[in-house]
Structure 1
Amino acid sequence: MADGPRSTRNKKVEKKSKKTNKKRKWAVWLFFTGAVAIVCGIIGYLLIILNGERILAENQDKFILPESSTIYDAKGKEVTKLSSAGGNRETVEFDDIPLLMREAVIATEDRRFEEHSGIDLYSIGRAVVKDIVARSAVEGGSTITQQLAKNLFLTQDKTFFRKATEASIAIALEHKKTKDEIITMYLNRIYFGKGAYGIKEAASFYFDTELKDLKLWQMATLAAIPKAPGNYNPINNPINSQERRSVVLQLMFDQGYITQAEMDEAKAVEYKRPENQTNTADDSNLTFIDYVVDEAVEKSGLTEEELRVGGYKIYTTLNTQAQSVMAREFEDDDNFEKSVDDKQVQGAMIIVDHRNGEIQGMVGGRDYVNKGTNRVVERRQPGSAFKPITVYGPAVESGDWYPWSILQDVKTCYGSYCPTDSNKVKYIGPVPMRQSLKESRNASAVWLLNEIGVKTGLKFADKMGFELDSSRDRNLAIGLGGLTNGVTPFEMARAYSAFANEGKSVDPHALIKITDKNEEVLYQYDAPQPEQLMSPETAYYMTDMMQAVTEKGGTGTAARIDRPVAGKTGTTQHGIPGLKTGYNRDAWFAGYTAEWTAVVWMGYDITDKNHMIKKSSAQSAAMFGKVMKDAIKGVKKGSFAKPSDVQEEKPPVGITNFNAIYDEAAAFVKLSWSPVEGEGVQYHVYRKEASEKDFTKLLDSLEPAVDDMTVAPGMSYTYYVTAYDANKDMEGTPSDQLTVEIPEAEITPPPTEEPGGEVPPGDGNETPPGDEEPGDGTTPPGDGNNGGETPGNGGETPGNGGETPGNGGQPTDPGSGNGNNPGNGTGDSGNTPGGDGSVPADGQPDPGAGNSNGNGATNSPPPTTP
């Protein structure tokens, strides 16, 4: 017992000792962890510093402007001189920049400019939060030093690695340069729109004044521009400019740079364009210049910097007239929908001379800046503009289908994929291919793709230069432009050029030749041998059908100009999950004259619930028409080439005066129409019962009148007729569709039982032999009411008494004796189309293969061939 208390005390001391040791271990672990973290942080910081220092050391030449290379247009006239940053520029020293001008820029772009060391952690944190919320890189968070780093060394792309490099260069710049030097370099190089680079050039261009003479409202106007030069410059958008100027002034007031009175006075001034404003500052060619520089780098093997400052002469295909017209129309706000905020509806356009592949002009966006996003080479969903690529083109090329071939525009599901017409009048049944394309009908386009097979559509698209996803795009949705990765306006221009060029491939290019200072040729364009991508007959038929798109009743009438135009519209739905609205994501028009091919795209860079286009592709077609009308002036007018052996036979004319009347006494439908002139003309009669999806051919006739004896009581039938030329094997345009309702049969009740007599056994309508007497309410035998009805062709014809057919009930498939029930063709799931025949940009259809006709009769009349 004596050892008990001592043993307990020992255990307590031992337990306390273990706790102390555990705390010490945690403290040691935390110390070393913290030390490692600090060391890693220091190493990381040093790596960032060293990376920035390395980039600066390797690119010292970017701080100077050496001899510029020169770009020439297609006529050999000088367009511009290149430099490491491009554009027109006059440099200015720090002391020549008004203090208030510097403060306006700092207040707007980087309020902690004087405090940070190149990066602003607060701004970065705010940007990261906004990017996470938006699930994309939408917020810059860049300091003035970072913007200078990007302007000097980097591209406009928003990626993590680009931002990390930008930050390292910014820190290095802060070590190498003073704040005064950094703000001076920034203001000398920043883009102010309309081709003006640097604050001195901007002051001269917008206000026709010296930098030192700028007023407060003018300084605020200039400080407002760099965020979105195309949207905030006072020439293109005076209202937006004034609103943004007010924001700048408010920031200056909030940060103590100006007084309330100065702010109010500067806000109230209205901008007036100087009378003697020069046009030397011109950014209309920027997209083309950037594109041709990229092409020259690829072809010459020089770096971009070597090419820009090496004194080279770069000869291009630029048509300055066409480029000027494009720039003018893209600057006109009335050609675009109005946005709810400063995010503009964007656009892109490219023009190619498909006779030689020379790019005439290119616009990459409404606010395109040097080295900005060129939307001509950005991927978007093409919608119905892709139908000629995956449906109509390959169908005609197969030799089994022609512009006059009859398609079926009916509501049909292919598995879980159910395409819908977006036309005012939906699902019109039989429709010639020409009309299907003209009116951009979705149901008939997918029906045709199902007939020719998805594999055929993909193969044709591949020949036309589109690299589709071989597994995820193997479905019927490609018929309406529902693609995994989308296509670019450049690719669409190349493909449509082949339709215009008699089916031969076209190589769009902007570069002709590069020479050095000594006139030695560094590069010379050598056109590749063209390939025959489709037969000349297919190209002709496609052109003929796409000309109808611009005619009355077509979807692209706004694209018409004073010479023949062929083309196709395309619209895609917004594709935002859970949002029910008819607004759209992309609007296209791809078209061509006999000389040039042009493609227009419109839409927001990022589509969300506040940024969708409310109109369809008609606005893109209108842009095509406005630009091409003036751009092509002076180019000799041509005509679309017609192959010498193209079949010119036309199908029989359409049926007129079609009538369908039910003869109740005879219990059949009388069909009649006006005869069609011509030798060997026959008539095909088609019928569809109300519960059936497709029409089936009921019968052929040599006469312009037939009787349908196979109708059943209580049913509804729809008919149409076509003329058929047996000599040419060509079917004419379908007649109007007429529907006939067959009344229910009337059952005669049994006679009333009289005293002294009884009703004979039977069904109440039969009279025992020998008892017939006139006037007793019975019907004499032999009139079809004594169980002796004559069965019809798949459905019995009731007798004159109007009773239920003698087989005890209605036929399960009335009137289908000449064929089995149409099968439900299986296909592939995909996006439900919208707009003028489009598909949502996101959401991929289930993979699979179409081209299944079911297990019964053909869904429609077979294709006819001349």
Structure 2
Amino acid sequence: MEVIREAPLLRYFRWAKKFVKFVILSLLCVSFAILLLILYLRSQPLPETFVKQTTTIYASNGDVLDTMHRGENRIVVPINEISPALVDATIAIEDRTFREHYGFDWKRLAKAAYVDVINMDMRQGASTITQQLARNLYLSLDKTWERKIKEALLAIQLELNYNKDEILGMYMNQIYYGHSAYGAQAAAQTYFGKDAKDLTLAESAMLAGIPKGPSYYSPFVDFEKAKSRQKLILDAMERDEMITPKQAEQAFAEKIKLKERSASSIVEQAPYFRDYIANLVKNKYGIDEELFIHGGLKIHTTLDPVMQKKAEDIVAAVLPKDNPNLQVALVAMDPSTGYIKAMVGGRDYKQTQYNRVLGKRQPGSSFKPIMYLAALQNGYTPLTMMKSEPTVFTYDKNKQYIPSNFGGKYANAMINMREAIKTSDNIYAVKTIDFLGPQKVVDQANRLGIASTLQAVPSLALGTSPVSPLELNTAYAAIANKGEAVKPIAITSIEDNQGNILVEEKSEKTPAADPVAASLLTHLMQSVFERGGTGFRVVNELNRPVAGKTGSTDYDAWLAGFTPQLVSTVWIGYDKNQKVDDVKEGYLSKKIWAQFMESALKDQPPALFDMPAGVVSVYIDPHSGKLATENCPNPQLFYFASGTEPQDYCTDHLPANQQPTPLQPPDPSSFWQRMGSWWKPEP
């Protein structure tokens, strides 16, 4: 039987037909697989990521007080707030086909794969901007095939979920530019001291070259290498017709002005206050460490940077250089709002970070005004008389307390409350708390804002229960506010990186004492700075009405006081129970306080302490305690709650058979009012 052989051409045609079918079927399968992969990737959410952003702390005037980033300084801004020149420069040098590809540059990928196969390792990179973003956001930097595959899949997901501008914006905020600067905004501020939107073409080309080798191309490290890289990028931009040859030439010739990196530019401002802010953020407002440091928060504070600088300068100038162990605390608040304006927690933050504004020490006699405020609401008047003499007090049935005056000096005569406050008479104070009962004083202190535990014993009158300078300052603010307590506020608001308000603090006033009593006390506390008062030594440093009270123990020296605009407290002492020399070292608390108050308020006119309704003013003869007449040699102006002032006239100095002629209350146009009318701030 004859076998009929198939013609070779026909056989080849049949094979070709089968091969084409196979190729078409394979392409359809691959296409279908790719389609399934795309649909799958499109349906899957991208991994969660936390982009670390720099938290910024602002002073009250909007100045940046500090940034928190712990080595990853990033300030996220939208793409339209980044210079177009920097965007173009980045595309030109990193991924020139970025606008055309879908996450991969196939030519670069093929070349990289060839080199990698030849060398049997991962030498050649071909990552697009999208791939780099995927790696930076979600993956490690390991050079493995597994990581490359994950990177490719994530790049596809990014391209499926975001448009090109969104991807570019994320990339420009993610990339590392060296010197802890992540993202275009932080980099622009680090290298040029300006915002990313304000970068010139020359600056943009230099900045775009840094990510290739942040420690190699940094203009801070090697300016010539940075210039060489800048030229390469300008040439790439010219090649891609992003700029003209003339623009490239002019940009390269432009003189680059880098941000000064002197020591003064990195000096920490208000370090104790910054630590206080960090403590509030985490412990009061419940914001965790990671969100605080890397959450891109905007924390707006009450600190007055000018006032803070004055406080720091005065402390540095007044404290003796030959006694570095002598420490200080200073805190200042606006009494009407409770806003903390200045805070100095020690003389050298680098030596010790302990914030003495928050530390508790015995306030000594600076606590007495709190007790006298309670007394003025419980039957006392500014003219209440008691004898200043050595006295033994018995309490709790059989316990004894034997206070003494400073230096063992006693009037051995009847004195009034004004004299007791002025000279800081301890006997008068303890007799007052003995009359009131210590618990009333504790309750009054708590209402004024002192939260520390106070011992309800007679010695409380002399400030034996420790309190912090911040607490004492808060209590004094309530006195300045005519009896309305204000909570101290250091943070006015906290915003997240999307602008949402997480925390907002507003001033709150709470009635804590009778306004008439608080105003009477304020007038009495002005006597501290009169001749014979414990604050008189610094009166020449003051050019405005002030009220305050000194305080001293063997280990502490205080002065707390206020004007209508500002209340501040200064403490001087040692951390390790070393005694304070009251004459030399104790005086420094008064000097710092007076210089700070005058300097802090030098741009504001002197302000009077006005009296509320229900207060009357009369002249008193201090010897008799009666209404003064024209014949009394040393009349003193006193304020009283209406109806509690003396009704009888002093007759001790009247000539025989002469009727008393009362002294009229002072003209409202007092010295300070006249001074305020012509006062002008220093230029």
- What TM-score do you get using the length of structure 1 for normalisation? 0.43
Specify the alignment match of 1:602 in structure 2: 572
Specify the alignment match of 2:488 in structure 1: 508
Q: Is the 8 A contact 2:619 2:628 kept in 1?
A: no
Provide closer, same or farther for how the CA distance between residues 211 and 362 of structure 1 changes in structure 2, counting only shifts above 3 A: farther
Residue 567 (str. 1) matches residue 544 (str. 2): no
Specify the alignment match of 1:376 in structure 2: 357
Q: Is the 8 A contact 2:545 2:606 kept in 1?
A: no
- Displacement of 1:70 after TM fit? 0.9
Specify the alignment match of 1:314 in structure 2: 299
Specify the alignment match of 2:589 in structure 1: 620
Specify the alignment match of 1:813 in structure 2: none
Q: Is the 8 A contact 1:570 1:617 kept in 2?
A: no
Residue 631 (str. 1) matches residue 589 (str. 2): no
Specify the alignment match of 1:593 in structure 2: 563
Q: Which runs of 5+ in 2 are unaligned?
A: 1-50, 74-179, 181-219, 223-260, 395-399, 633-642, 654-683
Specify the alignment match of 2:419 in structure 1: 435
Alignment deviations for residues 53-78 of structure 1 (CA, whole Å, 9 cap, x no partner): xxxxxxxxxxxx95321111112222
- What TM-score do you get using the length of structure 2 for normalisation? 0.54
Q: Is the 8 A contact 2:549 2:560 kept in 1?
A: yes
Alignment deviations for residues 348-384 of structure 1 (CA, whole Å, 9 cap, x no partner): 1100001111110101101124992111000001000
Specify the alignment match of 1:395 in structure 2: 375
Specify the alignment match of 1:147 in structure 2: none
For residue 544 of structure 1, the aligned residue among 516, 520, 523 is 523
CA distance in 2, matches of 1:629, 1:451: 38
Specify the alignment match of 1:481 in structure 2: 463
Provide closer, same or farther for how the CA distance between residues 731 and 369 of structure 1 changes in structure 2, counting only shifts above 3 A: farther
CA distance in 1, matches of 2:474, 2:627: 46
For residue 460 of structure 1, the aligned residue among 441, 444, 463 is 444
CA distance in 1, matches of 2:622, 2:344: 45
For residue 517 of structure 2, give the secondary structure of its aligned residue in structure 1.
helix
CA distance in 1, matches of 2:63, 2:299: 11
Q: Is the 8 A contact 1:569 1:589 kept in 2?
A: yes
Q: Is the 8 A contact 2:629 2:650 kept in 1?
A: no
For residue 542 of structure 1, give the secondary structure of its aligned residue in structure 2.
helix
- Displacement of 1:648 after TM fit? 2.1
Alignment deviations for residues 182-214 of structure 1 (CA, whole Å, 9 cap, x no partner): xxxxxx9xxxxxxxxxxxxxxxxxxxxx999xx
Q: Which runs of 5+ in 1 are unaligned?
A: 1-64, 88-187, 189-209, 213-275, 574-584, 657-673, 682-725, 737-866
For residue 375 of structure 1, give the secondary structure of its aligned residue in structure 2.
coil
Q: Which moved more, 1:407-416 or 1:489-498?
A: 407-416
For residue 615 of structure 2, give the secondary structure of its aligned residue in structure 1.
coil
CA distance in 2, matches of 1:405, 1:731: 15
- Displacement of 1:614 after TM fit? 6.1
CA distance in 1, matches of 2:651, 2:438: 27
CA distance in 2, matches of 1:592, 1:324: 19
Alignment deviations for residues 591-631 of structure 1 (CA, whole Å, 9 cap, x no partner): 0011010000110111147x866636432111011112212
Alignment deviations for residues 17-44 of structure 1 (CA, whole Å, 9 cap, x no partner): xxxxxxxxxxxxxxxxxxxxxxxxxxxx
- Displacement of 1:405 after TM fit? 1.8
Provide closer, same or farther for how the CA distance between residues 733 and 592 of structure 1 changes in structure 2, counting only shifts above 3 A: farther
Residue 422 (str. 1) matches residue 403 (str. 2): no
Specify the alignment match of 2:497 in structure 1: 517
Specify the alignment match of 2:277 in structure 1: 292
For residue 350 of structure 1, give the secondary structure of its aligned residue in structure 2.
strand
Specify the alignment match of 1:74 in structure 2: 60
Provide closer, same or farther for how the CA distance between residues 413 and 70 of structure 1 changes in structure 2, counting only shifts above 3 A: same
Provide closer, same or farther for how the CA distance between residues 66 and 445 of structure 1 changes in structure 2, counting only shifts above 3 A: same
Provide closer, same or farther for how the CA distance between residues 489 and 353 of structure 1 changes in structure 2, counting only shifts above 3 A: same
CA distance in 1, matches of 2:595, 2:576: 26
CA distance in 2, matches of 1:346, 1:306: 34
CA distance in 2, matches of 1:371, 1:524: 31
For residue 458 of structure 1, give the secondary structure of its aligned residue in structure 2.
helix
Size of the aligned set, in residue pairs, is 405
CA distance in 1, matches of 2:513, 2:275: 33
- Displacement of 1:733 after TM fit? 9.4
For residue 555 of structure 1, the aligned residue among 526, 531, 534 is 534
Specify the alignment match of 2:511 in structure 1: 532
Say which structure is richer in helix. Answer: 2
1:124-523 counterparts in 2 under 5 A? Answer: 279-298=264-283, 300-332=285-317, 334-336=318-320, 338-339=322-323, 344-369=325-350, 372-390=353-371, 392-398=372-378, 400-415=379-394, 416-423=400-407, 425-467=409-451, 469=453, 473-483=455-465, 486-523=466-503
Provide closer, same or farther for how the CA distance between residues 374 and 563 of structure 1 changes in structure 2, counting only shifts above 3 A: same
Alignment deviations for residues 317-376 of structure 1 (CA, whole Å, 9 cap, x no partner): 1101110011112222x434843xxx5100111000011111101011011249921110
Provide closer, same or farther for how the CA distance between residues 735 and 295 of structure 1 changes in structure 2, counting only shifts above 3 A: farther
Q: Is the 8 A contact 1:651 1:730 kept in 2?
A: no
CA distance in 2, matches of 1:493, 1:654: 34
CA distance in 2, matches of 1:312, 1:478: 44
Provide closer, same or farther for how the CA distance between residues 279 and 635 of structure 1 changes in structure 2, counting only shifts above 3 A: farther
Alignment deviations for residues 481-508 of structure 1 (CA, whole Å, 9 cap, x no partner): 112xx10000001000001011101111
AA partner of residue 445 (structure 1)? A
CA distance in 1, matches of 2:221, 2:527: 57
AA partner of residue 329 (structure 1)? I
AA partner of residue 403 (structure 2)? P
Q: Is the 8 A contact 1:537 1:643 kept in 2?
A: yes
Q: Is the 8 A contact 1:404 1:651 kept in 2?
A: no
AA partner of residue 612 (structure 2)? P
Alignment deviations for residues 540-566 of structure 1 (CA, whole Å, 9 cap, x no partner): 111101111012211112265222110
CA distance in 1, matches of 2:463, 2:446: 14
For residue 551 of structure 2, give the secondary structure of its aligned residue in structure 1.
strand
Q: Is the 8 A contact 1:348 1:364 kept in 2?
A: yes
For residue 373 of structure 2, give the secondary structure of its aligned residue in structure 1.
helix
- Displacement of 1:732 after TM fit? 8.3
Residue 641 (str. 1) matches residue 621 (str. 2): no
- Displacement of 1:433 after TM fit? 0.8
Q: Is the 8 A contact 1:69 1:82 kept in 2?
A: yes
Provide closer, same or farther for how the CA distance between residues 431 and 328 of structure 1 changes in structure 2, counting only shifts above 3 A: same
CA distance in 1, matches of 2:282, 2:511: 30
CA distance in 2, matches of 1:734, 1:614: 41
Residue 83 (str. 1) matches residue 53 (str. 2): no
- Provide the alpha-carbon RMSD of the alignment: 3.6
Q: Is the 8 A contact 1:654 1:732 kept in 2?
A: no
Q: Is the 8 A contact 1:69 1:310 kept in 2?
A: yes
Q: Is the 8 A contact 1:569 1:618 kept in 2?
A: no
Q: Is the 8 A contact 1:556 1:618 kept in 2?
A: no
Alignment deviations for residues 633-670 of structure 1 (CA, whole Å, 9 cap, x no partner): 324543212112213244456459xxxxxxxxxxxxxx
% same residue: 29
- Displacement of 1:437 after TM fit? 0.5
CA distance in 2, matches of 1:520, 1:357: 25
Provide closer, same or farther for how the CA distance between residues 587 and 730 of structure 1 changes in structure 2, counting only shifts above 3 A: farther
Provide closer, same or farther for how the CA distance between residues 564 and 443 of structure 1 changes in structure 2, counting only shifts above 3 A: same
Q: Is the 8 A contact 2:449 2:485 kept in 1?
A: no
